[in-house]
Amino acid sequence: MVVGEMPEGVDLLVVGGGPGGYVAAIAAAQLGRNVVLVDADGEDGLGGICVRVGCIPSKALIELASHVHSQSAWHGRGGPAGAGTVDLVKFQDWKRDVVGGLNGGVRGLLKRAGVDVRRGWFRFTRPDQGALVTDPDRPPTHLQFKSCIIATGSRPVELEHLPFDGVRIVSSTETLELSELPKSVAVVGGGYIGLELGTALAKLGSAVTIVEALDTLLPTMDAKIGTLIAEHVKELGVEVLTNAKVTGDTGTHLQVDGSNGPVELDVELVVVAVGRVPNTDDLGLEALDVAPGPDGRLRVGTDLLVTPRVAAIGDIAPGPSLAHKASAEGHVAAAVLSGHSELFDPATIAAVVFSDPEVAQAGLTAVGAEEAGHPAARATFPISASGRARTMGESTGFVEYVYDQSTGVVLGATVVGPHASELIAEAALAIEMAAHLDDLAGTIHAHPTMAEIHHEAALVALGRPLHIPGPKRRGSDGGAA
């Protein structure tokens, strides 16, 4: 310890105010801990990337785009004519109100829980629970903590040959701050972030090209989903280039090496959305004798511990980079560091893509189920057979359940279609509870609703579908009944 260094004692320290960090702080306070939460932006940073420049702003833009786009479709069904010119300046004002309200809500929750929120950059300094917090407006603060939860999140990946300039070549962050709609956009990356942003901008009126290095959109999901989505976005006017890699940018043209040779895209804006990198490279982890893996994440077990007194959650821990996963981990980390026997071992973590149509998955795919040793089968029900979907003017998509043929236990589900983001919750609960197909089939669902698709898919699996053709039932005399 440096002479004159007077460390402040902290019971439980949380680093990062995002959906993992602030939930962990509240959970720890509820368990009787005295909690200090440090975020680089202090109270302004509460809610993290998700609330400020991620989940919430992107869904606000998607809602605006969907509303604008639906005007033309509904005009042909008796609705009013087009919505007129999009005013992104007004949108940004409204979005800031939404974000500010959520940020203020988190601030109030932490205050009521007695959490001390501080601004500053954090680094571990000693193996015996020592840390340093620096802030340009205040003297450095040395902390001595009993327990610590790291929830520092992630940032957009920057391509070496396509560095961000904040004007022409931008990340998702700058895209969500646009105050004027670009005439033409190239989106580099056909994963969920690129697809969501590209679809929204296309619906608002931009000419959009999505460039994906692999052979399908949403390459981490079943190929048939990527194919379906690609066909649908083409109907929106989006050009999709798969098996294509960006090689550079001239300042006016994006250079792409496509499957049919090199091409140059004359676009006004380039959105790079090829993934995110965990924020673990400037935490002073060497002081704990801890190093991130090749992917930048910290290795933890089901107790989420990096060391006996330090836990890691959210995007810097293994698993999907999802806000709801981080929040769930926050509860577990707070309990474990407070002496409770808890584990982070969910049966499923639902993933959602707010594309058009929406895509949501939970549990095992058929391939994953077979690899896990299950005699797996699939049952599919098309969205086009849903009365509620038809009243919404929707017919694209399906629900597919994966189940164990020997037991009928639900193993996984995929929903592609309107409100898939909401509908996946029932499937996730069924998987978490190891529900049987009979449980879904025997649950009376309200009509007409989109949720009926769960009931219908279960009936398909059980061999007695109602609203799609199925096998004829045999009579007792061997004839058709």
What are 77-100's pLDDT values in tens digits? Answer: 888 776 668 999 999 999 999 999
* Mean predicted confidence (pLDDT) in 232-237: 95
Q: What is the pLDDT of residue 473?
A: 61
Sequence-distant (≥ 6) Cβ neighbours of residue 314 within 8 angstroms:
16, 18, 19, 20, 21, 151, 152, 153, 321, 325, 326, 329, 330
pLDDT at 158: 96
397 and 286 in a single domain? The answer is no
Of 248, 274, 300, the domain-final residue:
274
Q: Are 151 and 21 in contact (CB under 8 A)?
A: yes
Evaluate if residue 354 carries a pLDDT over 70. yes
In this structure, are residues 95 and 89 in contact, taking their beta carbons and an 8 Å threshold? no
Q: Are residues 236 and 315 in the same domain?
A: no
Structure tokens at 361: 């998955």
Do 270 and 372 have their domain in common?
no
β-bridge partners, 148: 13, 310
Domain boundary among 309, 337, 365: 337
Q: How many structural domains comprise the chain?
A: 3
Mean pLDDT of 453-480: 81
Mean pLDDT taken over the chain: 94
Q: Which domain holds residue 308?
A: 8-156+277-337
pTM of the model: 0.94
What digits encode the pLDDT tens for the residues 375-391?
A: 999 999 999 999 999 99
Quick one: 24 and 109 in the same domain?
A: yes
Alpha carbons 230 and 388: distance in angstroms, whole number = 24
Last residue of a domain, one of 337, 363, 381: 337
Quickly tell me which residue has 């998607």 as its tokens: 62
Residue 207 covered by a domain: yes
Q: For residues 274 and 278, what is the distance between their CA atoms, to the nearest angstrom?
A: 14
Judge whether 3 lies within some domain: no
Q: Does residue 173 register a pLDDT over 70?
A: yes
Catalytic residue among 447, 454, 455, 467: 447
One-letter amino acid at 74 equals W
475 is a domain residue = no
Verify that 286 and 142 share a domain, yes or no: yes
Residue 472 lies in a domain: no
Distance linking the first and last C-alpha atoms of the chain: 86
Across 17-52, b (16+ Cβ under 10 Å) vs e yields bbbbbbbbbbbbbebebebbbbbbebbebbbbbbbb
Per-residue model confidence (pLDDT) at position 208: 98
Q: Is 447 a catalytic residue?
A: yes
Element (H, E) at 400: strand 398-404
